Amino acid sequence: MILVNLLDSRSVAGDLGWVAYPRNGWEEIGEVDEDYAPIHTYQVCRVMEQNQNNWLHTNWILTEGAQRVFIELKFTLRDCNSLPGGVGTCKETFNMYYYETDEGDETDAEDGDEMMDAGGGGGGGGVGGVMEEVDRSIKESRYTKVDTIAADESFTELDLGDRVMKLNTEVRDLGPLTRKGFYLAFQDLGSCIALVSVRVFYKRCPLLVKSLAEFPDTIPGSEASQLVEVAGRCVNGSLALLDERPRMHCSAEGEWLVPIGKCVCQPGFEEINGSCQVCRAGFYRSVLQTSSCSKCPPHSRARQTGATACTCVEGYYKTDTDPPNMACTRPPSAPRNAISNVNETSVFLEWSVPLETGGRKDGRYNILCRRVLPEGGRGGGLEECGPNVRFLPRRMGLANTSVMVADLQSHTNYSFLLEAVNGVSELAGGHSRQYVSLNVTTNQAAPSPVSVVRKGHVGKNSIAVSWAEPDRPNGIILEYEIKYFEKEQDSSYTIIKSTKTEMVVDSLKPSSAYIFQVRARTSAGYGAFSRRFEFQTSPYLAASSERTQVSVVAVSITLALVLMALVAGFLLSGRRCGYSKAKQDPEEEKMHFHNGHIKFPGVRTYVDPHTYEDPNQAVHEFAQEIDVSFISIERVIGAGEFGEVCSGPLRLPGKREIQVAIKTLKAGYTEQQRRDFLWEASIMGQFDHPNIIHLEGVVTKSKPVMIITEYMENGSLDTFLKKNDAQFTVIQLVGMLRGIASGMRYLSDMGYVHRDLAARNILVNSNLVCKVSDFGLSRVLEDDPEAAYTTRGGKIPIRWTAPEAIAYRKFTSASDVWSYGIVMWEVMSYGERPYWEMSNQDVIKAVEESYRLPGPMDCPAALYHLMMDCWQRERSSRPKFEEIVCLLDKLIRNPSSLKTLLNSSHRVSNLLVEHASVEVAISTSLTLSQTVGEWLDSIKMGRYTELFTEGGYSSLDTVAQMTSEDVRRVGVNLAGHQKKIINGIQEMRVHLINSVPI
Ligand code: ACK
């Protein structure tokens, strides 16, 4: 940071030339300090006279482009009480003003002189006096007030006697300044002041060279929290990576923050001590992503300096996709130890890997298959095998060292060439190819199966069948065998032989189904039977056949009717229970199988990122990677554990620009810190709920690493409430609480326990929507300044945490409910600190002894009752978030239920109340006409009347105090009934609170 003085009254050697009016107001006292340097002190002390209005103007101060300047005043001030007699009119403050203008003219000073001349005589009556007053007020009206300045220390007569100077120093800042310069003015209204020095300065971010990027000397923005983004200039022959333009942010304090992107040396150069040096011969640097020159990889060289790549030596090659740091390679040698295994008309070929792989891992094998033509045939040479020969798995590009060649001709000679190739075989050209050859003679082979058997004329005792010759007869077909049998009687069958490809099979039963199969025989033996073909003989009698058809139709109709009845019954029963089971809806089913994942609504659970071995994988599973060029950082909004929290717009391609919060991970982090930082994103990214802070994505591919979330205009809830004390209606507050409860219900449904629920971890947007934030595990608590170490180690935010979680780390959704109760209290008391300044130890002790926070001022009784329920010692007796949301909804729907405020005995500020006493207060004042039985009947739970009476709950006021544990204890075992009764009790409480003043 650089401080630049625009004015320093102490360093002015000659006359300061400031203007005072009226003349008998401020006066300059020429003094010297201990080094005889002049001190320009202005003083005024007209405490005895009424209506003082004494002004002192500085000269025109040039801003030099600064938009925010600081003013440091040093002054002494006389204590009014020490002044004899003048106390009535005496003041102990003065005002500071400024007036911005583009032109620093002398008119002001002249005007001042005129005024002093005119008004200097004192009093100023008559016409001249009035004009002067008007003129003066016009001048004054141009000035804007900066502040009223009071002294931290004033001095008395006694101090004067002791020659004690009580010098005050006050600093104020001014901005945004938009003109070339300004005047400062000091207005005295009747105090006794000596202005010893005035210093006006501004701050600049100094010229900085970082990562080969130069950032110019920069003037900060006009707002205290504003960041000015400054583009860096690549120096020393370096250049910026695409999308990694170097940027820095100049803060109002003149400090450089949040560096983004960088410059790198051009290919062929490397960065050494902040400058780019050429790569030596034998070295190269090809891409901007690497930082230094590397030695040429094996079988390559760089003869010149400044190489961006190395060239392969003779006989070695590189493909376009080979990385620059990979050695040059060559084609492989031939496969070795090739053998063949003939099975009739198939050949199995097998070989070993080549001795020389050429230095590559992308080796493959190709097979060349040629039939040896018989002697005397055309050319007596070789002929390509043609498309009918099958290669398993394939002919070219084989990864394994074997192949099956099938469907060759029988009794035929074949020549196979096996070739090994790799990624540079093409580059090396044909002369580099090396083969191993194999000659094979196929055996005789049986014919292939007959593929189709057709039905000809059908009689009641006969069926004519025909078939085609097999595709590959593999020799001369000597005869066919026809096998047939009555359907489902295959234990006894008949075989007939034929030399033709058709025959009539007779002696069959009428109206019967028969199965037929055919096979061919050559000198090599029988081929396999064809698949089964089913044909039916004609019926015995036409009349009976009709009857059969009629009866078939009748049976079909009956079956159809029965089926329809069944389907209808199923659908009806489905509709009856469909409201409770969403997954019975077929549409729903479809949806849940979408993308190959089976998902049912409501049962999605949170996945602990710990279950991932690689934390980066977890982040990218749940969070979208965002390119940093889509983000602009505009201002710092806070400080997080890992770095600044900033805000700015996010412009994703094809999407509307939105404002986002940007959490940054500061430079110099360890791998563990990076992991911990991104942990939060892995968790947040799993949630999708309007009351949970939404993760937009992460930036991990460039530095600084960032987490991008939606922007919440009103910041954290505790600060927001403190700032807006008593500004909201009860319904607005309950609306906020309802939102938080709804977010928490979602988290607990997902199986996620927050552990650090507190108003400081809730964020509020411009519509007053509250969202739960600050996720993580150990990190959450490490980060929280409220978290204290417990005796068992580990940090816990004591004031917000349930006793069982403090005592033995039993963190559950029920302990989150306890914390929610504390958040309710924070909200209803507008950000008051829970348990005020009590020590953590005292809080633990008091809670242990059943003391609880008292109701906040003006808190509706129903809300306080809910808080107290959240603070039940027995965690199973606390309400569930589901129930809390339900109750708050009821209160919002029925605002009159919030009218009854707490009895003052429950809101004794700074005093805890005993947990049981509130229950007593309600019960003693109850007068209800209904009996327990009537009430149970009214909620259709009359069957439990006897159990309630036996359990000692014979009046409604005792029932009103029952916890869910009590309800279970009296013998209500069904979960649905328990819920119904608990809801009834909660409704009864609201009703009681409304109807009876507590
Ligand atoms: O109370 P605040 O203004 O709100 O100060 C803290 C600070 O950053 C450190 O955490 C603010 N903050 C964090 N996340 C966000 C967000 N998503 N939107 C707005 N402000 C945020 C928080």
Where do runs of H (alpha helix) occur along 529-611?
A: 542-578, 586-592
CA distance 294 to 5: 50
Contact 765, 771 (CB under 8 A): yes
Residue 600: is its pLDDT beyond 80? Answer: no
Q: For the purposes of burial, counting CB atoms within 10 Å of the CB of 565, is it exposed (0-12), middle (13-18) or buried (19 or more)?
A: exposed
SS3 368: strand
Kindly state if the Cβ of 722 falls inside 6 Å of ligand 1.
Answer: no
Residue type present at position 657? E
Judge whether 906 and 864 are in contact, CB under 8 Å. yes
Tell me, using a 6 A CB cutoff, whether residue 6 lines ligand 1.
Answer: no
SS (H, E, C) 953-984: CCCHHHHCCCCHHHHHHCCCCCHHHHHHHHHH
Higher-scoring residue by pLDDT: 642, 3: 3
State the DSSP H helix or E strand holding residue 910, giving kind and residue range, or none if neither.
none
| Confidence band for 222, pLDDT divided at 50, 70 and 90 | confident
For 85-110, what is the mean pLDDT? 76
Q: Is 937 a catalytic residue?
A: no
Report how far apart the first and last C-alpha atoms of the chain are (Å, whole number): 62
- Of 225, 631, 636, 637, the one to substitute when testing ligand 1's pocket (max ligand atoms within 8 A of C-beta) is 637
pLDDT of 574 = 32
Centre of ligand 1 to C-alpha 287, Å, is 39
pLDDT given for residue 59 in this prediction: 92
Largest CA distance in the chain: 150
Any atom of ligand 1 within 6 Å of the Cβ of 715: yes
Residue 683's SS3 state is helix
Atom of ligand 1 nearest to the CA of 645: 8
Task: For residue 29, give the H/E element and its range.
Answer: strand 27-32
Query: Which residues, in sequence order, are CB contacts of 494 under 8 Å at separation 6+?
Result: 483, 484, 485
Nearest-CA residue for ligand 1 atom 9 is 638
Residue 138 to residues 23, 555, 708, Cα–Cα distance (Å): 18, 109, 51
Q: Is 73 helix (H, G, I), strand (E, B) or coil?
A: strand
Integer Cα distance of 672 and 679 in angstroms: 10
* Size of the chain, expressed as the number of residues it contains: 998
The torsion of the CA quartet 861, 864, 869, 872, rounded to 10 degrees, works out to -130
Q: What is the rounded distance in angstroms from the CA atom of residue 726 to the CA atom of residue 733?
A: 10
Q: Whose CA is nearest to atom 14 of ligand 1?
A: 661
What ligand 1 atom has the least distance to the C-alpha of 711? 18
Gap between the Cα atoms of 20 and 815, Å rounded: 68
- The pLDDT value recorded for residue 630 is 94
Backbone angles phi, psi at 538, to 5 degrees: -70, 160
Ligand 1 pocket member 719 (CB < 6 A): yes
Q: What is the pLDDT of residue 224?
A: 81
Look at ligand 1, atom 21, and give the residue with the nearest C-alpha: 715
More confident residue, 36 or 517: 517
For residue 109, the model assigns a pLDDT of 43
Is the shortest distance between the CB of 709 and ligand 1 below 6 Å? yes
- Residue 778's pLDDT band (cuts 50, 70, 90): very low
Question: Ligand 1, from 631, 645, 710: best to mutate by most atoms within 8 Å of Cβ?
Answer: 645
407: left (phi over 0), alpha (psi -120 to 50) or beta: left
Q: Which of 776, 770, 756 is nearest to 606 (CA)?
A: 776
| Distance between Cα 781 and ligand 1 center (Å) | 17
What's the confidence (pLDDT) of residue 666? 86
Cβ atoms of 774 and 661 within 8 Å: the answer is: no
Q: What is the pLDDT of residue 547?
A: 40
| Predicted confidence (pLDDT) at residue 447 exceeds the cutoff of 90 | no
pLDDT at 273: 85
Query: Which of 187, 226, 176 has its CA nearest to residue 205?
Result: 226
* pLDDT given at position 875: 93
Nearest to 61 by CA among 184, 204, 216, 193: 184
From 756, 783, 816, 966, the catalytic residue: 756
Q: Can you give the pLDDT at residue 906?
A: 55
Contacts of 516 (CB under 8 A, 6+ apart): 453, 463, 465, 482, 483, 484, 505, 532, 533, 534, 535
- Ligand 1 pocket residue status of 798, Cβ below 6 Å: no
- Expressed in angstroms and rounded, the spacing between residue 921 Cα and the centre of ligand 1 is 41
State the average pLDDT for the chain.
Answer: 82
> In the numeric block, which tokens belong to residue 645?
């929290």
- Backbone dihedral angles phi then psi of residue 725, each to the nearest 5 degrees: -50, 130
pLDDT band at 604 (very low <50, low <70, confident <90, very high): low
Cα-Cα-Cα-Cα torsion 295, 297, 299, 304, nearest 10 degrees, comes to -40
How close is the Cα of 707 to the center of ligand 1, in Å? 13
* Atom number, ligand 1, closest to the C-alpha of residue 693: 17
Is 229 a residue whose pLDDT tops 90? Answer: yes
Strands (E), 780-894: 788-789, 795-796, 851-852
Q: With bands split at pLDDT 50, 70 and 90, how would you rate the model's confidence at 508?
A: very high
765 close to ligand 1 (CB < 6 Angstrom): no
- What is the residue with the minimal CA distance to atom 7 of ligand 1? 638
Q: Ligand 1: does its nearest atom lie under 6 Å from the Cβ of 637? A: yes
Both tokens assigned to 646:
């900033």
Instruction: Determine the pLDDT at residue 601.
Output: 38
**Among protein residues, the one whose CA lies closest to atom 20 of ligand 1:** 715
312 pocket-lining for ligand 1 (C-beta < 6 Å):
no
Verify whether ligand 1 is closer than 6 Å to residue 645 (CB atom). Answer: yes
Map residue 477 onto helix, strand or coil: coil
Residue 581 CA to chain centroid, in angstroms? 32
The 8-class DSSP code of residue 593 comes to T
Looking at per-residue pLDDT, the higher value among 963 and 336 belongs to: 336
Q: Which has more pLDDT, 777 or 64?
A: 64
The CA-based dihedral angle spanning residues 267, 269, 271, 277, taken in that order and rounded to the nearest 10 degrees:
-160
**pLDDT-based confidence at 133, cuts 50/70/90?**
low
